[in-house]
Amino acid sequence: MSAPGIAIETKPLVPSGLLAVAIFVASEAIFFAALISAFVVLRAQALDWPPFDQPRLPVLVTGINTAILLLSGCTIHGALRSVRASGARLTGWLAATAVLGALFLAIQGYEWVRLVGFGLTTSSSLYGATFYALVGAHGVHVLAALVVVLVVAVRGYRGRYGAAEHTGVAMCHLYWLFVVAVWPVLYALVYLR
Amino acid sequence: MTRRAARPRWPQRLVGCAVLAAALLPARVGRACSSCLSGADGTREAYYGTTLLLIVVPFAALGVLVFWLRRAAQRAERARRASTDPGVPRARPGHDPAFHAG
């Protein structure tokens, strides 16, 4: 029992910011589960999927793009490991993550432009609407995560993070890993089945 | 005030049962669902599967969060013991248990 008037410094079990991101990621998981559910039910009700007059999705290119995003999951993990150790190569790992994320978005964007050109739009069919809703929602998340990575990279470059304090990197790491983990599920569901 | 003599109720019940039987016996199995546009097997399976998914995901998310916090608490406790008990190996310099919870 402590004596009255003596303040005891207590450290939180988990940094508040990290806990907030974890709760946010949990809610995002439910959001994607709802989108996936809508997609699965609508596809099951369709007579032909994809409709015969709609273009087929680029399975191979998106497969390569999936590998790129999975690789970015490794680089963000490298960033967290490096900041835990000393923080010497943090900016390099984060820059690599940002480049891979940007490459993923660029390839997705290029494929979408081609698909729109072939006639697959949000209003062309239920197939197009669900495709852009599901894959588009993920793309927006990757874009948001990319902005976060860039902000953390700049802060890391300025020496804000070290082995003792790196909550920002841990938050960024958790969110990026979620975005990476969701994509293979969407790829298998939308492109492969 | 006089009370009327109680009449036997069994004829009314018998008629009621007969009406109920007449309504139910010829009925077929019906499938009605505001979300299903067809009674096809694929649609039903998709509907059941996604219902299950939407039930499981929130609990799974909550479970992972609780597991993660519990593990962080265990690591913090180990670190606290290591700092007080000289027999227990100390944590690496800069190794914060909270950041290793995930």
CA distance A24 to A39: 23
The CATH number that applies at residue A186 is 1.20.120.80
Give just the sign of the alpha carbon dihedral A72, A78, A84, A86.
negative
* Shortest alpha-carbon distance between residue B57 and chain A (Å): 6
Q: Is residue A146 part of a domain?
A: yes
pLDDT for position A8: 60
pLDDT at residue A69, as a whole number: 97
Contacts of B58 in chain A (CB under 8 A): 26, 30
pLDDT of chain A, 193 residues: tens digit per residue = 445 556 666 778 889 999 999 999 999 999 999 999 999 988 888 878 888 888 888 999 999 999 999 999 999 999 999 999 887 789 999 999 999 999 999 999 999 999 999 988 888 888 899 999 999 999 999 999 999 999 999 999 998 898 888 999 999 999 999 999 999 999 999 998 7
A4 belongs to a structural domain: no
Q: What is the mean pLDDT of chain B?
A: 77
Q: Is residue A70 part of a domain?
A: yes
Is residue B68 over pLDDT 50?
yes
Record: contact A41-B40, CB cut-off 8 A: no
Q: What pLDDT shows up at residue B88? A: 56
Q: How many CB atoms lie within 10 A of CB A63?
A: 12
> What integer pLDDT is reported at residue B101 of this predicted model?
47
Measured between beta carbons, which residues in chain A are less than 8 angstroms from residue B102? Answer: 18, 22, 170, 173-174
| Smallest Cα distance from B81 to chain A, Å | 15
> pLDDT for A88-128, tens place per residue?
789 999 999 999 999 999 999 999 999 999 988 888 888 89
How many CB atoms sit inside 10 A of residue B91's CB?
15
Task: Give me the phi and psi of B57, to 5 degrees please.
Answer: -55, -45
Residue A107 maps to a domain: yes
Q: What ipTM describes this predicted complex?
A: 0.78
Residue of A nearest to B38 (CA): A45
Tell whether A2 is covered by a domain.
Answer: no
- Find out whether A126 and A160 touch, Cβ atoms under 8 Å: no
How far is the C-alpha of A146 from the C-alpha of A3, rounded, in Å?
49
**Using CB atoms, which residue from B42, B64, B98 is nearest to A44?**
B42
- Whether residue A30 lies within 8 A of chain B, CB to CB, comes out as yes
Q: Is the pLDDT of residue B95 over 90?
A: no
- 3-state SS track over B15-79: HHHHHHHHHHCCCCCCCCCCCCCCCCHHHHHHHHHHHHHHHHHHHHHHHHHHHHHHHHHHHHHHH
Give the residue numbers spanning the domain of A183. 16-192
Which residues in chain A touch residue B49, judged by CB atoms under 8 angstroms apart?
40
Q: Is residue A41 part of a domain?
A: yes
In a domain, A6, yes or no: no
Inter-chain contact B46–A43, Cβ cutoff 8 Å? yes
Note whether residue A25 is domain-resident.
yes
The number of domains in chain A is 1
- By the CB < 8 Å criterion, does A29 face chain B? yes
